[in-house]
Amino acid sequence: MHSLELNKNASNRGSGRPTPDGRARGYAVTAETLESVTALWRGGAGSLTWDCMFVLPPWLAAWWHAFGAGLTPALWAVRHEGQVVGLAPFVIEGEQARFMGSSDVCDFLDCVVAPGKARQVFVTLIAHLKQQGVVSLDLGPVRDDSMVLTQLSAAAGELGWDCSCQEEDVTLELELPDTWDSFLSSLSGKERHELRRKFRRLQEAATVSVQVVEDQSAVREGMETFLKIFTMNRPDKAAFMTERMASFFRSLAEAMAEQGFLRLFFLELDREPAAVVMCFDYNSTVYLYNNGYNSAFRGLSVGLLSKLVTIRDSIDRGLRRYDFLKGSEPYKRRLGGRPVRLHRCRVRLR
């Protein structure tokens, strides 16, 4: 486990115009720790809006403790008259800054910025980065609607920085209707017929039940079953789930369960786990984070049907959006997912 401690520092207090070093007057940059960022988050941190689940402090902490060895942390808060109006969860590698997190376990990332403060935050942050010896930013993946793509890239162009953003992937989202019948009606006739046929065949083959693990007390046992099933059906998933990665998944599940964000679904046939889906609830959105199935039940389409179970559960609980997350697998579009582009932005500081 690696401690994330940084020396506190502050700079530039005054109005909103640039100072000689390029920062906005009245704005300061302070170096934070995971503990102080967690306190900001739990305390509401003024007007900050934490839209991106993958930069929540519990997620950052789980990632750092699993993968932070050898990296230099740079959790920088931008403050205006003492109030936090922006947060950049970065790490430093040589002369480059990038997000704390990695694309294999964080589907998209972003900075956290208060409404109406983006330009001042990014101007101040960039000036601070340059002072720290950073010469380039490599930020991604970020969504079409991210602060980095909509605000930082605009500020970069305005201030004469070299900035390029390239599309790298997509995430697919589904706007959830009010009822399960409405969801089925939104599908093509062929898709609707196939899903009903598959559910009927499943129910004819075995006694079907669904177990949902969300309480902290049951998460550890549930995660061991998840990890076992996850590696059963595909060699690439088995290779992905190294011991370090498994440690990350365990820590993440416990941290998110503590906040009430985790839902771990088990589709059972005759009381034997056939498929598992790991989801997170955040801001009225359900995120399909990962899944696996027992290859012995491959012929019963348990992988697809277990995902549909989570969609129905989300509708029944009144949630508004279902995010299939990164990747353009055909089933996501067949179930109504609409693509949101993911980009990587590179900024050269001059």
pLDDT at residue 161, rounded to an integer: 81
Print burial letters for 238-249: b (CB count within 10 Å at least 16), e (below 16).
eeebeeebbebb
246 DSSP assignment = H
The number of C-alpha atoms within 13 Å of 275 and in the hemisphere containing its C-beta is: 23
Tokens 């790991």 label which residue?
A: 278
- Contacts with 77 (C-beta within 8 Å, 6 or more apart), sequence order: 29, 30, 31, 32, 37, 40, 84, 86, 87, 88
DSSP H or E run through 28: strand 27-32
Q: How far is the first Cα of the chain from the last one, in angstroms, to the nearest whole number?
A: 36
Among 56, 194, 151, smallest CA distance to 345 is for 151
Right CATH number for 27-169+343-348 from 3.40.630.30, 1.20.1440.120, 2.60.120.260, 3.40.50.150?
Answer: 3.40.630.30
Report how far residue 73's alpha carbon sits from residue 116's, in angstroms, rounded to the nearest whole number: 27
Right CATH number for 177-319 from 3.40.1390.10, 3.40.630.30, 3.60.10.10, 3.30.300.30?
Answer: 3.40.630.30
pLDDT at residue 10, rounded to an integer: 36
Domain boundaries, the chain: 27-169+343-348, 177-319
Same fold, 27-169+343-348 and 177-319: yes
Strands 285-293 and 321-326 come out as parallel
Tens place of pLDDT per residue across the chain (350 aa): 222 333 333 333 334 455 545 556 789 999 999 999 999 998 876 678 899 999 999 999 999 999 999 999 999 999 998 899 999 999 999 999 999 999 999 999 999 999 999 999 999 998 899 899 999 999 999 999 999 999 998 777 777 788 899 999 999 999 999 999 999 999 999 999 999 999 999 999 999 999 999 988 899 999 999 999 999 878 898 899 999 999 999 999 999 999 999 999 999 999 999 999 999 999 999 999 999 999 999 999 999 999 999 999 999 999 999 999 999 999 999 999 999 999 999 999 87
